[in-house]
Structure 1
Amino acid sequence: MLLLAVILISHDGLTAQTIPNREETLKTVVSVNNYFMTKFEDYKAPSNVGRLRPSNIWTRGVYYEGLMALYSVLPEEKYYAYAYDWAEFHKWDYRNGPSTRNADDYCAGQTYIDLYRLNPEPHMIRKVIANLDMLVNTPQNDDWWWIDAIQMGMPVFAKLGTTLGEPKYYDKMWDMYEYCRNQMAGGLFNPEDNLWWRDGDFIPPYKEPNGEDCYWSRGNGWVYAALVRVMDEIPLDEKHYKDYQKDFLAMTEALVKCQRKDGLWNVSLHDPKNFGGKEVTGTSLFVYGMAWGVNNGILDKKTYLPIIKKAWDAMVKDAVHDNGYLGYVQGTGKEPKDGQPVKYDSVPDFEDYGVGCFLLAGVEVYKLEE
């Protein structure tokens, strides 16, 4: 009995060390979200950074991805209303309508589909269907010329394909992903490092100041999150599921090698001195992916829980203000120098997508103790 007690005590101690406290995790996620919802109470208000943009642009779409994740574990009516009323205000449509080919535009479709699943009414996804059918029925596969587009667009195909039971959306999704991965500008995925160049501007001979290839943290985070959101939707026997999983595992191994000693990631994955420092959006997306991998039995718990906890604890300690404001968020752009400075008290040009990334991460971390 004494030996059993020692073993149980040791096990509990290990759990406490490797899994963030569940109640505290949810409390932090709620605090960050409440700060945002309070500051941006009017979901109808357009952004005005350089010019007016409607509130269904990609930055807000990413926020709502995080909010719907939070709603799935904490179904507060105010969360649902904030999402539903936003979608209803925009008439379940995209910034440039259902004829758009720009993945940034149809990012909002992820939330429209999530809301449809809760209370299905045909008008909620009519324009999502029209948009994706147009993409399916036209031959172009080269729309995703920048890797951010993979996260904005690919999960919409996965979600709609699963919702309607239509494999044609899975097929087109793969064609567009494969083109971006292997053909766009010679292929934006580098199998030597298992990381992605942001777009054709960064393929060698372009180099970072230290001579390394330029792998932008958040850009790789977008792809990593997209792979998670697709695998979470499509059947395990879907013909390209293993291809997505292979890329996810390869990226995971590469990303772990880039983690800072304090647990976060730099904006430049292979050049820590090129605008080096703490950054939360890339870190959040990596935590989201790794925690999902552990929760779904794809990543080994013993190996990855310490990595996840180190990153999550660092974000909570170093980036979350007492009032819920989220610091160390890099502003919009496409490379390390953009959206600078990235500091504890700096305000990015758009506050919404950083919160969305953090919510996605926090919800998956919250699930770890289940």
Structure 2
Amino acid sequence: MFKSVFIKTIYIKPVIVLLLFCSSAIAQNNIISNNSKWSEKTALTILNNYPKAWQIDGNEKPKWDYKMGFLLFSFEKLYQKTNDSKYLNYIKEYADEMIDSSGNIKKYEEKEYNIDYVNPGKILFNLYDISKDNRYQKVLVQLRKQLENQPRTASGGFWHKEIYPNQMWIDGLYMAEPFYTQYTVTYENGKSLDDIAKQFELVQNHLTDKKTGLVYQCWDESKQIAWANPETGTSPTIWGRGIGWYMMALVETLDYYPKSHPNYKTLIGYLNQISKSVIQYKSSSGLWYQVADKPELKGNYLEPSASAMIIYALAKGSDKGYLTSNYKKTAQKSFDAFIKEFVKVGEAGEINILNVSPSVGLGGKPFRDGTNEYYISGKTKDNGSPALAAFLLSALELEK
């Protein structure tokens, strides 16, 4: 069936054949023009440096991973903007390397109940629409089944992973809810929209700091883990990138959430609340810190992935009408500050984003205590994929 679908496509649109079948279409030495927009400069840099999407962040082997999902989501948006086949081909190459001929994700175990595994599924909706390759739809169903069986806290929130019982992590909202919303609206007549709104309600009620209006990274409903506040169950630190994940989760969920649904305005309210709060904690230059609420903390630093995610969410929220136009102006100013602070352009026009936070988490072995010091002591690196993807998305949203 797969072959016959594309034989038909050959007759109708020969260019699609090159796009979907010729991996060599992605040249490893794409010329980066000085006149190109920041979004395309970033994408071409990524194509040149990482011919396979899974190679980003120094990975040595292919893996189904949320970072690749985030990066390729940004490529999908760029493809939709430019209609340039090399961006779609980059996405498809990753999907085809990770999904076997029977439609199973390689080395995927549902029973790990790792909510991060859901995020890459977003790239398959569009691939299936274009190709009608049933392998992609089969994976969509697999990931939806994972969410159906995902363990939950007593209040109904998704556990982040099987190994983190009773815990909601703020980045888990981004990993699951945009996919969950698109799936239930596309295939289930929206039957799970209330459940999706419930996940955000739990964040609002339990992960949002009452003083700052910002969100903590984690919440243990049982309050048993050592890092948990004994009264609230929250982790100790308000992480800049965590705020970014949450704001992006809201704007991307709202892309598919029906305006007619009673919870639509509630979600917009959550976005307005976090946006109003986060503006109060930007630096004088318009950027955000690793420990977002403590700019004066010794060793704290302005962090690019957090800043780019927030810029993107503010710009998109304003463009969609969820936020007022003033937020778009703030995003534009912060984007310019981002370039001055973090972006270094190489001799060939390649983009480098400096000083990106490493991945962080809580618990595990060795135990991560989630203190402010833990978040600021990790070794930063250049060109971390969350910063590259978020910068690309923010540039697209601002038409830069």
Residue 155 (structure 1) aligned with residue 178 (structure 2): yes
* Counterpart amino acid of residue 80 in structure 1: L
Residues 181-205 of structure 1: CA deviation (Å, up to 9, x unaligned) = 54xxxx2223443221111336478
Give the structure 2 partner of residue 58 of structure 1. 66
> Among 92, 96, 104, which residue is 2:108 paired with?
96
Give the structure 2 partner of residue 6 of structure 1. none
* Aligned CA distance change for structure 1 residues 326 and 45 (closer, same or farther; 3 Å): closer
Residues 290-339 of structure 1: CA deviation (Å, up to 9, x unaligned) = 101211122221x2233112210011222222121111321111466447
| 1:143–1:176 CA contact under 8 A, matched in 2 | no
| 1:44–1:89 CA contact under 8 A, matched in 2 | no
Give the structure 2 partner of residue 326 of structure 1. 353
Give the structure 2 partner of residue 282 of structure 1. 306
| 1:154–1:230 CA contact under 8 A, matched in 2 | yes
TM-score (norm 2): 0.74
The structure with higher relative contact order (CA 8 Å, sep 6+) is 1
* Aligned CA distance change for structure 1 residues 26 and 265 (closer, same or farther; 3 Å): farther
| 2:54–2:61 CA contact under 8 A, matched in 1 | no
| 1:65–1:110 CA contact under 8 A, matched in 2 | yes
State the superposition RMSD in angstroms. 2.9
Residues 152-211 of structure 1: CA deviation (Å, up to 9, x unaligned) = 1111101112322532332332344444554xxxx22234432211113364789xxxxx
**Long gaps (5+) in structure 1:** 1-22, 207-212
Distance (whole Å) between structure 2 residues aligned to residue 111 and residue 294 of structure 1 = 24
Residues 88-117 of structure 1: CA deviation (Å, up to 9, x unaligned) = 111162752455521111211111223223
Residues 210-250 of structure 1: CA deviation (Å, up to 9, x unaligned) = xxx73110011101100000001111112322221111000
| 2:240–2:291 CA contact under 8 A, matched in 1 | yes
| 1:155–1:229 CA contact under 8 A, matched in 2 | yes
Give the structure 2 partner of residue 38 of structure 1. 48
Shift of 1:59: 1.5
Give the structure 1 partner of residue 93 of structure 2. 85
| 1:25–1:366 CA contact under 8 A, matched in 2 | no
Distance (whole Å) between structure 2 residues aligned to residue 331 and residue 325 of structure 1 = 16
Question: Match of 2:358, SS?
Answer: coil
Shift of 1:27: 1.2
Question: Match of 1:325, SS?
Answer: strand
Aligned ranges 1:138-149 → 2 under 5 Å: 140=152, 141=156, 142-144=158-160, 145-149=168-172
* Aligned CA distance change for structure 1 residues 272 and 152 (closer, same or farther; 3 Å): same
Aligned ranges 1:1-370 → 2 under 5 Å: 27-43=37-53, 45=55, 54-91=62-99, 93=105, 96-136=108-148, 140=152, 141=156, 142-144=158-160, 145-182=168-205, 187-200=206-219, 201=227, 203=229, 214-274=237-297, 275-301=299-325, 303-322=326-345, 323-334=350-361, 337-338=374-375, 346-347=381-382, 351-366=384-399
Distance (whole Å) between structure 2 residues aligned to residue 107 and residue 233 of structure 1 = 15
Distance (whole Å) between structure 2 residues aligned to residue 315 and residue 53 of structure 1 = 32
* Aligned CA distance change for structure 1 residues 221 and 25 (closer, same or farther; 3 Å): farther
Distance (whole Å) between structure 1 residues aligned to residue 127 and residue 294 of structure 2 = 41
* Aligned CA distance change for structure 1 residues 285 and 53 (closer, same or farther; 3 Å): same
Distance (whole Å) between structure 2 residues aligned to residue 103 and residue 94 of structure 1 = 16
| 2:184–2:193 CA contact under 8 A, matched in 1 | yes
Report percent identity of matched pairs: 20
* Counterpart amino acid of residue 40 in structure 2: V
Paired residues, what number?
A: 328
| 1:327–1:347 CA contact under 8 A, matched in 2 | yes
* Counterpart amino acid of residue 397 in structure 2: E
